[in-house]
Amino acid sequence: MKKILTILGARPQFVKAAVLSRVISEHHEIEEIIVHTGQHYDNNMSEVFFKEMEIPKPKYNLAINGLGHGAMTGQMLEKIEPILLEEKPNAVVVFGDTNSTIAGALAAKKLGIKVIHIEAGLRSFNLKMPEEINRILTDRISDLLLCPTDTALENLATEGYKNLPIKIVKSGDIMKDAVLYYGKTVEKKASYYKSLYLKENDFVLATIHRQENTDDIKKLKSIFEGLSAISEIKEVILPLHPRTKSILKKHHIKPKMRLIEPVGYFDMLALLKNCNLVVTDSGGLQKEAFFNKKHCIIAREETEWVELVKNGFATVIGSNKTKMIDAFEKYQNSNTNFSKNLYGNNIGENMYQEILKLIN
């Protein structure tokens, strides 16, 4: 039996991997070994999480977290290499753009093991973002690039990837499969959401955590001023990221909205399903908003998911509070048709078949 080794580090990657793992288990043709680097470890990443998400438990947990980029990536490389030598997989699968992604890809490539990059070809064109560096380098050393969109394909073509011995496939966005599958059970599993007693379509869901916003106090203040203004019209619910929480406390900023603790995947799905719209600087949440037929206000200077903006589902406002309020008001009077298929169908199965071709 062929074997792949999947390297994960952040919760969104576990959600995406759950889709692929389920398809792999259904076919009985590939053995999958999961390695958790520990990059974004938290208490919710427990046995209950794996049980509810139907994810195979990691065979290896490296517990590498709380370090700077260099130390974190270096330690991951050091610890992944002996696992690869022990397991001897036919290929390594990495997701997205984290330090775990580039460390897993580098460790495999240096040992001559094939690399599969899921969510390939995405670009923000902002090299100040660590994620941009990770995704560019991972794409370049991969053997199979599974791209979510036409835009991702175009990015790779512009960069000359057609001249490289790398297979490029438009597979669709695996997060769509996850939202559709887990959305069926969200009412049963979102216990914390129920305790919030929120009215359907009567609150705004916000998340702010990116370094480009949290490390620039002027930007952060402007974003929260915009959210506070919106909260006077409609309730704003903000699961507070630890980094954002510490910086707000340091600068004595007290936002006028409902701050809650970070929530698990099912509670976040419930919030998405029932909110009026989303304000976020998260990449994944932009698409999940679309999958749940919600408009999204993007608190960044750019987005990798340009098709959301081009089709009127999202607006990029940077940290401009006036633009945020204007976008909020515009979307209150909008009857957008969310039926457009931007991200494909049966994505997990598409990816599985491409992986099978690569390793056979």
Q: Identify whether the C-beta of residue 83 lies closer than 8 Å to the C-beta of residue 108.
A: no
125 to 76, 158, 185: CA distances (angstroms): 26, 13, 37
pLDDT number for residue 108: 98
Does any domain span residue 182?
A: no
Count Cβ atoms below 10 Å from residue 325 Cβ, excluding itself. 18
Pairing of strands 144-147, 235-239: unpaired
Q: How many CA atoms lie within 13 A of 142 on its CB side?
A: 32
Residues 26 and 155 in one domain: yes
In DSSP terms, which residues pair with 277 in a beta bridge? Answer: 204
Residues 194 and 158 in one domain: no
Residues 97 and 203 in one domain: no
Residues 204 and 142 in one domain: no
pLDDT per position as a tens digit, 185-209:
898 889 899 999 999 999 999 999 8
Residues 240 and 351 in one domain: no
Q: How far apart are CA 277 and CA 204, in angstroms?
A: 5
> Whole domain around residue 255: which residue ranges?
188-332
Q: How far apart are CA 200 and CA 219, in angstroms?
A: 30
Does any domain span residue 59?
A: yes
Residues 150 and 7 in one domain: yes
Does any domain span residue 181?
A: no
The CATH number of residue 73's host domain is 3.40.50.2000
DSSP letter assigned to residue 128 = T
Q: Which residue numbers are catalytic?
A: 209
pLDDT per position as a tens digit, 119-162:
999 999 999 889 999 999 999 999 999 999 999 999 999 999 99
Q: Which residues contact 165 (CB under 8 A, 6 or more apart)?
A: none
Q: How far apart are CA 323 and CA 227, in angstroms?
A: 11
Residues 102 and 249 in one domain: no
Q: Is 310 exposed, middle or buried (0-12, 13-18, 19+ CB in 10 A)?
A: exposed
Residues 328 and 350 in one domain: no
Does any domain span residue 178?
A: no
**3-state SS assignment for residue 31:** strand
Q: State the helix-helix crossing angle for 242-250 and 217-231, rounded to 10 degrees.
A: 100
In DSSP terms, which residues pair with 83 in a beta bridge? Answer: none
Does any domain span residue 339?
A: no
Sheet of 30-36, strands arranged across: 60-61, 30-36, 2-8, 91-95, 114-118, 144-147, 167-170
pLDDT number for residue 94: 98
When divided into structural domains, the chain yields a total of 2
Residues 162 and 50 in one domain: yes
The series of mean pLDDT values per 10 residues for the chain, 360 residues long, is: 95 91 96 90 58 83 89 96 98 96 98 98 93 97 98 98 97 96 90 93 95 91 96 96 88 91 91 97 94 97 95 97 97 94 97 98
Does any domain span residue 81?
A: yes
Residues 131 and 221 in one domain: no
Residues 264 and 354 in one domain: no
Total residue count of the chain as it appears in this document: 360
Residues 160 and 203 in one domain: no
Closest CA to 34 of 22, 11, 49, 17: 17
pTM confidence score: 0.91
Does any domain span residue 74?
A: yes
Does any domain span residue 179?
A: no
CA dihedral sign of residues 28, 31, 36, 37 = negative
Q: How far apart are CA 140 and CA 6, in angstroms?
A: 19
Q: How far apart are CA 123 and CA 119, in angstroms?
A: 10
